Structure 1
Amino acid sequence: MDYFLLNDYMLSIVVASIAAFIGVSIIMKIDFVDKNKNKVRITSFMAGFVIYFAYLNTYFTGAMTPINLLLIVSIILFCSFAVYSAISTICYKEVTFQRLLIGSMIFAFCISLVNYIDLRKIMIENNLDMNLLLFISANILLLGNAIATFRFIRQLRKIEKIHVKWIIYGSVAIGLAFASIRYTLFSSITLFSNFDLFNNHDIEIYDWLYFNNTLLPLTINIFGLVFLELFPSFISELYSEKQKELIYKNKHQYEALFENQAIAIFSVDDKGEINKVNEATKKITGFRPEELDEYSSFSELIDEHQRAEFLSFLKIAFNGDSQMFETKLLTKFKNHIDVQITLVPNFLDEELTHINVFVKDITEIAEAREKMHHMAYHDSLTLLPNRRYFVEELDRRITYSTAFSQMAVCFLDLDRFKLVNDILGHQIGDQLLQVLADRFRSLVDKDVVISRLGGDEFTFLFPDVSDYEVFQKQLEDILLQIQTPFLLGSQNQELYITGSIGIALYPEDSRVGEDLMKFADAAMYSAKEKGKNMYEFYHNYLKEKNPKQLSLEADVRKAVKEKQFEIYYQPQIDYATGKMFGVEALLRWNHPKEGLIKPEDFIALVEDSELIIELGEWVLSESSKQVKSWQEQGCEDLYLSVNVSIKQFFHHNFIGKIEEIFEETGYNLERLDLEITESMAIKDVEYAKDIFDRLRHLGISISMDDFGTGYSSLNHLKNFSIDRLKIDGSLVRDIETDEKARTIIDTIIVMARNLKLLSLAEQVETVEQEAYLKSIGCNEVQGYLYSEPLTGDNMGEFLTNNYNASLLNRVDIS
């Protein structure tokens, strides 16, 4: 009785060879590291599934019982485990023979198990016995197949570029071995039975030579096994020559690269001793190779202050990680140069052989970097440290101060320095600052930090003011140096100037650097208010101020820098039409602790410093952008009215700055109104007339703000090119109760009409006030009766609802 067709056997060899080729190709690409292990497990499970169905897909037929299901799952899981074990054994870089044997035994047992289950079914159905000796012999052969296969694939993985033909040859050998093992195992029950393994009893090789069909798979199996055993040795010999050539070639390339590098290379051993150097070493350090013998290790060439850091980097490199850092290296001429060092560990068979120390001369880069650092931390005009340097040095000294430290931060501002620039020019002003910086440097001790913050502001950090009298004498000397005449310009023009100093003490006034600078600044402004040319201590200044004012003064500079200010808008109404014609931009301060602060509570503080110019320019820029967006949304004729501070008005580039801002924002200057107080205009009538004429030439309208209070210089009014008189709210507020207020308002409106000027009343809050102003011919009005000042978003909504509506006695703010 025949059990198999010979064609089945031949087909199984083909299928097994294809499966082997796919499996080998996959394993060749596997990088068996932790992050890939889950992928390997999934692949192993799929392979286990394939093994089960290849051998036992028809074994469990009929009703599926829980025991059968459990048995199927167990077989699949074991097959998956066997495949995973095989892959890990093949893919590990270093595998002992014991590990190879265990991995091979697990995989061989898996193949034997699924074959035995199939065999057992035949034995039961045909009442056959197994020849145990033959079965054991076949399993030993199977184990040999597994070991030979693992070694074969491991050998392939060691070769970087393997020709595909060797994979094909090996895959056919694996297919022959593992396809034949099934039939070899089967022969253990057919050899001494009435069954024949194949339908061909004898296979004729030659006329005189016949081959028993039972021995056929055994013979083919042995052939595949021999091929797999011989292949690693054969392929090793084949590629060893190529490897020798490659190693020889790489060695020469390495030597050429080593010697011809433009940067110095030191080869050091695991003890840090120098073994070899290249030619560039001499160019960079001046040392010849033999001259380096006197140094026991490379670390002796490193600057002693940075040697410990180098040794820590070297230790990391010994553990296999490259390192890059900058340090200073000793040269033959006993000086140190700035270098960049790269430590590159070199391995052979995973053993550290040496470390290449690449040394690049970065002296020019270091000098350029030092120059840039100096520029970043010093003032280019006076060469003194700048604000950044001063702040960092102050913080550093505070950090390292002791319980006994007594320091002083001094702010110095030159009095009326602006006049020097305006009258004599910026060149003379710059010369004065340079001479003054030289005087300061020669006056104080070296441990005193002097910096120029900008403009005519200087700061001093005295590290020890424990002797109060000595410190006061130093302050007086500084003021005296400022008062000493300056001979400037090509004609040695004699110039006199004074300065004001504010002092904050550490730790008496504060232990925080930022606060000390704010307090010294505040004290300096107090010195100016008291008459200039003097110094003021912050603790004395404190006695004259209430806590809330002090807090605001300290916070106002920070508020300007951090943009804590917000612009509100109040509508302006034309009495003739009852409709809005413009909005006035009003500044509010969103204080992080105090909440919303009105201008009357902080604007004077800002005006005491140059910050008012920066703030005023910001208001012009932001409000013009906002109003332009409303114009583009349908409010085409809407005017913007903005208040101008006295320092803005008298700034030497007031007109130029306005042109620059509105060129940037694209706002139409013919829709801009600038509000200037009468007291400001009277301060310098000729200057005001010139500014007014230039503003009108640009198309800007001008309103005389707060008219009716202050100077009321009516004789100058006819000479000013203005468009509008704004009646001060203090007069409007008293309309109903004060006949004199009504008389003044009547006079202003009549005068405005006769001078062909418009009149606008501020702070209108009642219907009675509105009615009176309308009855006497006031042209325009604004106040809480129509709307309180609104944020940009709320004003946008207000315009949507009210821009084209009459607002007299009716306002829709919903």
Structure 2
Amino acid sequence: MKRAKASLFKKIVFPILLVMLFQAVLLYGTTILGGAVTQLEANAYDIFSEKVQGRKNDLQSEMLQRWSKIQEMLTGLQEDTESLLAERGGTLEELMADPDLSRRLLAEYTDELIYTLRKNSVTGVFVVLNAPVGEKYPGIYLRDTDPESNPSGYSDLQALCAPPAITQKLNVALDASWTSAFVFEGGEEEACNRFFFRPLRAAQQYPGMDAEDLAYWSPPFYLGNNRDYAGNQVIAYSVPLIGADGTVYGVAGVDISSDYLMKKLPGKELNSENKAGYLLGMTTDENTAEMTYRELLANGAALRGMIGDGEEVTVTAAAGASGFYRIAAGSGAGDSEVVACVREMRLYSSNTPFEGERWAVLGVVQKNDLLAFSSSFRLLLFAALVLSSVVGVIGIVFVARRATKRISVLAANLRSADPRQPIRLAGVGVAEIDQLSEAIVSLSSQVADNAQKMSRILDMAGIEIGVFEQDEEGPGFYYTDKLPGMLGIRPGEKFDRDILHRRLSALPCQAEQGEQNRYLFTLNAEDGVHWVRLQTVARGASTLGVLSDVTKEISEKQKLEHERDYDLLTGLFNRRAFQSRIEQMLTRPGEVGTAVLVMMDLDNLKYVNDTYGHDFGDGYIRAAARALRRSTPDKSLAARLSGDEFVAFLYGYESVDAAREACRGIEKELRRSILALPDGSRLPVRASAGLAFYPKDAAEYTPLLQYADFAMYQVKHTDKGQFTEFNIAAYNRDAYLLQCREELNLLIEKERLDYQFQPIVDAVNGGVFGYEALMRPATENIHSPAQLLELARSQSKLSQIERLTMFRALECAVAQGVVATGSRIFINSIPNQVLSDPDLARMEERFGCYLDRLVIELTEEERMDPEKTAKKQAFARKWGASLALDDFGVGYSGEGILVDLAPQFVKIDISLVQGIERDEDRQALLSNLVLYCKKRRIRLIGEGVETFAEMEYLIRAGVDYLQGYYLCRPAHTPPEGLPCKKEILEIRSRM
């Protein structure tokens, strides 16, 4: 009897346990191996990262767009300083040396400081003068404890530092630690002193750099290292004060208190239970794998326990989410790993003194707290499976022990049941067995229903997952409903273990790097290509496989890779991808052989854009790209660098001649390419190109590109539409035309033109008749007017130089007092360039009282554009100004140009003047010119007079005015008296 009872229990319980085990494994595998938990963890990282990024953006915007916008204040301080200098006379150094004047200057500053304090919503504003008296520096430091409110008057302000007279005038409260002047104890590197000394020393070290590029964000500090001095710590944004003469005479700026800054970093937003916090840090480390941040500010109740009590926090790159780092946990963190999401701020521009100090916002949290939801989900899933299994086992045991009759029938029914479907047992006519059958059916339905619920949850979440289990030693094979469809098996078609293996074997497959038993399959379906990922796990004699549809993931990855490396308009490589591949290739010179880099710039693109619109301009670019693809051989790379610039690298040739011949193929294909235009015309594609050969011209990418660019630049400005090879001699001669493009832009933008003045002397009485304004470029690499004009001509910016010449020459003449003498001002006009009507109106507004003394010097090149010459003649007549024909005697066509221009003055070129007292040919030319000009009341000016003999001959020949080194050299401020006056009068007395 006992033996039969035991046999009954086994035959009932084991099949049902097997079904439950399969369904539990199926449920767990579908959820865990399908990536649901991994996705939850990734979401947790992403949400945390987005919060930190958003907070970083907000704080960076406040610091750069509101708090540090003090240019208006700096301008006002500069104007106050210049006004006091103009009133008192002297220099900035003299002003700084006088304590009374320094205090008066501070009094002038107060309105600008208080206005900025209100406008920028900062907690403090200051100015410190670099005029120490002993150890004390005069200055003003005002604080606003509540910048969000602005009551009338100054009741909410406190003075931390200011002269007594100023505090009495403003009637502001004095801080408990108020002082009348700044005392910087502890040296320049003391934390509380850096806000003053760092920008001050930077301005002294880098003269000529803009003040805003020398600005400095200081770490938090207590003013004077006294915690009671300022209430709480502040960070300061300070900018050096630089006079017009380059003197660094102080520092001005604003501060933001740590309490005020804390409000911008609410740690509770990172974790609803306040288990995370924000850290504001600063580092100079360049190794991004491990960085040490100096703690500037920390917010969050749990933060101190997580990071410890040190002043520095070291972060180490962590595997997983991008931008997350590990932190050595503090004593309050327990055994949990602490991670930080690091988002660096850009507070400084490139190539500035403090760009190495990088500030960052760090969101800090324990990893357990960050991943709490995914861990809870995993635990609840496991608990649910265990609980349901326990309930199922209890039910099975209970039902099995009540089975007493007709066991064979019930066992047969159970053996024939399909474990993938809810079990169905037919009644056997015995109440006890039927009740047992009903309990088994009910329990099986509940288990299947639970599995279906999980499947529905996955369907609602849009997760495509199929699962199968196969017995390696038997015929057992189980699978979920979605599995066949994911492999391209249509509904109703047969599907079994053999079909699964044949289907997987026929599909293109690749093992995923870094993963075991994980494979990626490619399917060609009617709606396009699909990708599925197979993950297999061995469980004893059975294998569990999970198939997930990763089409969206792979497509997005491929799209991102394509957008990263390819130009969207042409499909060619972009600049970054092209450079990366070339630099990799050049590490294998044997594979490259002889190569050529072709740098191309499309001609006529601006014409197409302006005439037919940018859509046809894009078509012009695409036509060029197609021609480039058709004409480049297999061993080549092509890219679009910018709007109209293309580059190609052709390699693997045995000689330069072979590479050159391949370039001719590109040139021919371009010439055959045509763009159809909307008006029915057909525009050929044209490009100017420069060639640089590897390794003949250069063996590295950067110089190779630079040389090809130079060759293209030459042909672009000489003979458009040609392919030209790089020439080292031309490069050594003209490289500055390419290299100084930015310097030219800076010269124009900053108006860096200076002028010296050379007297033009009356040949009758020896007095000064006028001054010629001589251009002097104030830049490092552009040394002469000739270089400047050649560079401007190559960049089509002569019109801007003409405008700058007219305004700057008159500005310098007024500033140096040259026009105050009533003398004429001779200014060289650039040929075929003329001021616009708005510029002429501005000239009349600014210099109207001086324009009748202006003499505009023209050359023969003015004949090239009679319309512009006529405009110059017109506004000269309007102003009562005069015209002068410059450099007469050098290649001019005689008296014809004198008739065309009708000048009031003719300047005889130095080539005609030099040695004229010994040269009869020069004397004859001069005699004819004097005779011609006297009849027409044109006054003659002899240029380049360098000897007494030349001066004497010109006077005796009847020249009206003289100019040259013998009389006086050019200078910013010409001397009042000229030694040559006495000699001229003596010559006149002997005539």
| Structure possessing the higher radius of gyration over alpha carbons | 1
Name the TM-score, length of structure 2 as normaliser.
0.38
Q: Which has the higher helix share?
A: 1
Higher strand share: 2
